[in-house]
Structure 1
Amino acid sequence: MANEPKFALIKKHITDQISAGIWKEDQRVPSENELAEQFSVSRMTARRALSELTDNGVLTRSQGLGTFVASLKSQSSMLEIKNIADEVKERNGEYSAEIIALEEIAAMAPIAIALGVDIDSKVYRSVIIHHENGLALQAEERFVAPALAPDYLVQDFTQITPHEYLSAVAPLTEAKHTIEAIMPNQDVCQWLGLYNEEPCLQMIRRTWSANGIVSFTRLISPGSKYRLGGHLTFKKRVR
């Protein structure tokens, strides 16, 4: 801890205050100047801590008003693929995973088409529930092309996420996804511990490596616990 960078200590202080419920949603947090004075650091160091927490969706900044605790819904970017374990850890949460299924199946037509393989050919299927602080955050049902990840079924996905593993053995070159609101079926309610039906956010994603389609994935999160966001910067047109 003694060798930990000062900006990291500031980030931990802020996330600890939020996790403990001391700083509430939409509450203003100390300014760069106030944090710089409190931690005896430069304003630039304090700014880095606030900026990184803002980028991670923990804080939100309003020009001229200050920096505030963001909505307590977990946030993921629509514009990039991030590892969910990293997202949780960036919020100073405790990540864990539960494996529901890890098996070889015969590809039905929709799965075969999505993976670009023959109908009834063998593909790998996993169902994993991602947790944050012990609560189900996201259900991931993934279908994988065995030719591009032959050792998929022998991985311990409580220690490494499928995204991490596939990124290592079949580096991502392209991804396409669609996002929609759905009402969960009985399986999804059981996976996510939903006792009262509530709308969920579903993302369907296909990923490619240089050698072809790697996976076809369905990611489902309770609408009350998850949201998607992004930030775009547009170049000014030269007149």
Structure 2
Amino acid sequence: MPQTPRYLTIKRYILDNITSGRWLPGDRIPTELELTQQFSVSRMTVNKAVRDLVAEGMLQRKPRAGTFICSPDDKAESPLLDIRNIAAEVQQRGQEYSNKVLKQTKLVADDEIAIKLGVMIRSTVYYSEIIHYADERPIQLELRWVNAQYAPGYLSQDFTQQTPNQYLSANCPLSAIEHTVEAVVPDEQVRRALRLGANEPCLLLNRRTWSGDKLVSSALLYHPGTKYKLSSKVSVATT
């Protein structure tokens, strides 16, 4: 019989300690160096096991602190009535932010895109697809359409260094936002990008933003429903 890969043995060891209750949510697991010595393997092998569990939402890396066990109810949270840079949100939670740019291109607006952005059919628009990660775990798939007239430098930006939100906020100051949220059954593209299980729910935030009276951007923001939540706080005047 083929031998079980060593990284799977380490991964199973960590999972067994979690499921048995020996290690509890919030506990720090042994360091990669300690696991390397314990299992007599390379650092790369240990790192592969830990990375897999981070991506699956079982572990959370905290810079300069170590790797910790996630709580089942530990969900990333974003404000519903505001727009914040996702990179800053992730870093404020003590996690490491990264992203992967899948597409950054020019399109000719069809009927659907023209309605999204309030432009004429066959107008030039810019489009990007980006997966955002927290500790190597995907937390958002961003599909964004941008009015090329109002953000002419969009395609020349390096979105691994700054997010579309950062670029648009600096060049098209926000004056109004429109949000709608719904639970959706993700298609194969979304499931693959967010590493969702077959029956895992997905939250879709549909966002449009204005600068002055100009509709600048329309975005579909997909989040894994088991690991993400949206919140709002509204002040109510009393008499």
Query: Normalising by the residue count of structure 2, what TM-score does the alignment of the two structures yield?
Result: 0.69
Q: 1:206 aligns with which of 205, 208, 220?
A: 208
2:225 maps to 1:223: yes
Match of 2:27 in 1: 22
Q: Aligned residues, how many?
A: 173
Matched residues, percent identical? 43
1:53-79 per-residue CA deviation (whole Å, 9 max, x = no partner) reads xxxxxxxxxxxxxxxx99410011112
* Structure 2: distance between partners of 1:186 and 1:22: 34
Q: 1:153 aligns with which of 152, 155, 166?
A: 155
Match of 2:188 in 1: 186
* Structure 2: distance between partners of 1:210 and 1:127: 25
1:12-31 per-residue CA deviation (whole Å, 9 max, x = no partner) reads xxxxxxxx8239xxxxxxxx
- In structure 2, the CA distance between the partners of 1:117 and 1:130, relative to structure 1 (3 Å rule), is same
2:177 maps to 1:175: yes
Unmatched 5+ residue regions in structure 2?
A: 1-24, 29-70
Q: Is this contact kept in 2: 1:148–1:211, CA < 8 A?
A: no
* Structure 2: distance between partners of 1:187 and 1:231: 33
2:129 maps to 1:127: yes
Match of 2:105 in 1: 103
CA RMSD of aligned residues (A): 1.8
Q: 1:72 aligns with which of 71, 74, 84?
A: 74
Instruction: Give the superposition deviation at 1:204.
Output: 0.6
Segment drifting more, 226-235 vs 130-139: 226-235
* Structure 2: distance between partners of 1:22 and 1:231: 31
Segment drifting more, 220-229 vs 191-200: 191-200
1:43-82 equivalence runs, <5 A: 71-82=73-84
Match of 1:51 in 2: none
Unmatched 5+ residue regions in structure 1?
A: 1-19, 24-68
1:37-61 per-residue CA deviation (whole Å, 9 max, x = no partner) reads xxxxxxxxxxxxxxxxxxxxxxxxx
Segment drifting more, 192-201 vs 124-133: 192-201
Instruction: Give the superposition deviation at 1:211.
Output: 5.1
* Structure 2: distance between partners of 1:192 and 1:155: 24
Q: 2:235 aligns with which of 230, 233, 236?
A: 233
Query: Normalising by the residue count of structure 1, what TM-score does the alignment of the two structures yield?
Result: 0.69
